[in-house]
Amino acid sequence: MMDWTDRHCRFFHRQLTRHARLYTEMVTTGALLHGDVPRHLDFNTEEHPVALQLGGSEPEDLARCAKLAERWGYDEVNLNCGCPSARVQRGAFGACLMAEPELVADGVMAMRDACSLPVTVKHRIGIDRTESYGFVRDFVGTLHQRGGCEVFIVHARNAWLQGLSPKENRELPPLRHELVWRLKADFPQLTIVVNGGIGTDEQIALHLQHVDGVMVGRHAYREPWSLAGWDGRFFGAPAPVPGRAEAEAAMVRYMDRMAAQGTPWPYAARHMLGLHNGLPGARRWRQVWSDHKLESLGPAEVSALARRSLAPQGEAAAGLTAAA
């Protein structure tokens, strides 16, 4: 998610789940081949497992970027064929690539030949008003047979390339999760991951009865504490932190570390503003962390001020949630 899932966001989410795979913002091949590579690719070792998501269409460029992903230590390289924004379309990548499955397959093969990382593809179920299941079935089949792709992350909406903003493209085209389930039935040998409109643990559990995985995007960002139960419920592992206070404390230590390296701590703090959503005092807690007048203070001082706004019952609720 552009401007959202940067390295600071991913470090925060890793405090809440040790096992869910994290994905970078989409990085264009041009930005990597002609820009500041460390700025785009540097990440914290705590983020593993983490995938680099690429935007591009030229097989040679994709191959060079896949090599960079491996060199920098990523666990997966993912090709975005789902973003519908006009800017992305002008670059001839994103969702418009679904109209050129052979080109995408060539790009996937080039990346697979260039590195030893798993190469995966994220895409929609269709483009514009074409709602034929055969379209997405043939897209997946071509990428598998011609490109060797074995993992597909499928946003269960069409991408309308004209007339809708990126936000509207996440909301207006109807969700058709059953088409993603059908892909898994038709390609049982492939790994099929569903994405789009999924948030609660109950919804995740339902989809896992039909597909191999679930990708959660904006819900995870807006309601980050929902991640804290995933390791126990879906991975059979203990929760990484006992409560919200411990997650905040980990971020305070991280922000201190970043500040010492020259990165202002508000760059990281903004990603945890939803941590106490639904608890008494949460609004005031967010206001303290967002107060520009406090940026001269250290993260620990701001944390102490913010936590005073949390009502005692909110603290208790946080503890009970973590223990559940």
In a domain, 237, yes or no: no
Residues 6+ apart with CB under 8 A from 250: 15, 241
pTM, entire model: 0.91
Q: Which residue in the block uniquely carries the two structure tokens 């706004």?
A: 309
**Which of 190, 223, 256 marks a domain boundary?**
223
Q: Which two tokens stand for residue 111?
A: 């990346």
How does pLDDT run across 3-53, given as a tens digit for each residue?
789 999 999 999 999 999 999 999 999 999 999 999 999 999 999 999 999
Count Cβ atoms below 10 Å from residue 136 Cβ, excluding itself.
Answer: 26
Task: Supply the pLDDT for residue 324.
Answer: 24
Q: What is the CATH number of the domain that holds 289?
A: 1.20.120
* Cα–Cα distance measured from residue 186 to residue 195, given in angstroms and rounded to the nearest whole number: 18
234 lies in some domain: no
Which 8-state DSSP code applies to residue 10? H
Binning pLDDT at 50, 70 and 90, where does residue 301 land? very high
Domain membership flag for residue 235 = no
On the question of pLDDT at 313 being above 80, the answer is: no
Query: What b-and-e string marks burial along 8-26, b requiring 16 or more CB atoms within 10 Å of the CB?
Result: bbbbbbbbbbbebbbbbbb
- Is the residue at 238 inside a domain? no
For residue 1, being part of any structural domain is answered with no
Domain that residue 94 falls in = 7-223
From the CB of residue 260, how many other CB atoms can be counted at a distance below 10 Å?
Answer: 8
| No. of helices (H) and no. of strands (E), the chain | 17, 7
Is residue 274 domain-shared with residue 217, that is, in the same domain?
no
Residue 202: predicted pLDDT: 97
The tokens 């700025």 sit on which residue? 39
Of 9, 65, 83, 115, the catalytic one is 83
For the chain, what is the domain count? Answer: 2
Based on the residue annotation, tell me whether 83 is a catalytic residue of this protein.
yes
CATH number of the domain encompassing residue 115: 3.20.20.70
Share of the chain above pLDDT 90, in %: 83
Q: What is the pLDDT of residue 172?
A: 76
Residue 153 shares a structural domain with residue 257 = no
Q: Are residues 44 and 156 in the same domain?
A: yes
- pLDDT at residue 130, rounded to an integer: 80
Q: Quick one: pLDDT band at residue 129, thresholds 50, 70, 90?
A: confident
- The answer on 211 and 102 residing in a single domain is yes
Same domain, 80 and 167: yes
Q: How far apart are CA 122 and CA 130, in angstroms?
A: 18
pLDDT at 319: 37
Helix (H, G, I), strand (E, B) or coil at 296: coil
